[in-house]
Structure 1
Amino acid sequence: MSDMLRLQDIDKSYPMGEDRVQVLKQVSLTVQAGEFISILGASGSGKSTLMNIIGCMDTADRGSCSLDGEDVFRLDARQLAALRNRKIGFIFQRYHLLAQYDVLQNVMMPLLLRGFSHQQAAPLAVESLTAMGLGDRLRHRPNQLSSGQQQRVAIARALVGKPALLLADEPTGALDTRTGQEILELFRQLNRQGHTIIQITHDLTVASAASRILHLRDGVLTDQ
């Protein structure tokens, strides 16, 4: 297997008054293509900062980051936005669906932003939604769906552009236990199909769905 993601000696700090607070400390991580890993950490451990760096939404003070063979920290803002759209499918705790658009339009959005026409994007979005069991919900608005269905729409949107990496931030945090387990089983199915998945969570039960668990404590990433 090839390396999908490689972080090396990542340091990240933020100003606080006249001082700086170090949030990530010498973080190194290698994720191979086809892996399903969880990064487990409590509130304040640095999870959000690490997710933003993996998701190409922030850069580090020091260190290096490559995603699917691209040197992320050498890219400018426009190139980073294009990389995120092409390479990463994001799945959020609160779904981040656009209420004014129906399900099909929500899933088409990443493709339209990439420059696809409506005629090109629509059948791909239908295919992705059908794979999530939502082929009969294409014209529903998000508020007409259950929480589990909304998260499946978000997963369909993340998958529609065939990204190299699925990045899930507390993906079951807004779901009841049974629905959360259904989403985790869906992740396992996607992983068996070859998708590379990183999920970030504070919940050990959720983290245990992955084949590898890493622990983030006070900005330090370990496998214990």
Structure 2
Amino acid sequence: MGRRERPLDPTEGPVARFAHELRKLRQEAGGPTYRAMAARAHYSTAALAQAAAGDRLPSLLAFRPDCAYLAVGEGAGRVVLWDGRLGRRLGVLADPETATYQYVSALAFAPDGRTLAVAGDEGTLQLWDEASRRRVGSPLPTPGDTVSALVFGRNGDSLHAMGNHTPPQTYPVGADGAAGPVCRRAGGGLTRDEWSRHLPDVPYRRNCDY
């Protein structure tokens, strides 16, 4: 028989509440070992045991900078949004038409809390708009290695991704940083004739420097 878990007060904060809910879930499932639960949820046994003890949250969680929301990655590739006190489920980030069933390997909120970066174990990397629960653009290109860590730059205009077997990758994700690749892909901006044809009521301005 394993050691008896110490009592918890779920009102002490998010970590204690999460531990309380995890223990409750385990009890309702018939008391499986944390090793068995970890295998199903794609967490490490130590991460789940520490979470249930009230020591820390699992690594596949991300609080919004203002702590109003919590994003929780699941083994089926979904991300569930909770309020900061884990008292109410707010929504799910998932697109049934493009579900890949990869488990979520890393999460990160942008500094303004509006964008969430979600990585999958097969190397996928996607930005989501937190308010609309919709994808932001196409998936970002990666080397294909599992993304194990994500962090936004201080101003939110860049995203840094770390894999287990590949060098760190940096992605421009702000409006200014994204303009360059878009302009190069389009072969330049609109000419004056194209501008007057598509935007006749808007004064012309140079729109690409590439």
What is the TM-score with the length of structure 1 in the denominator? 0.27
More helix per residue: 1
Structure with the greater alpha carbon radius of gyration? 2
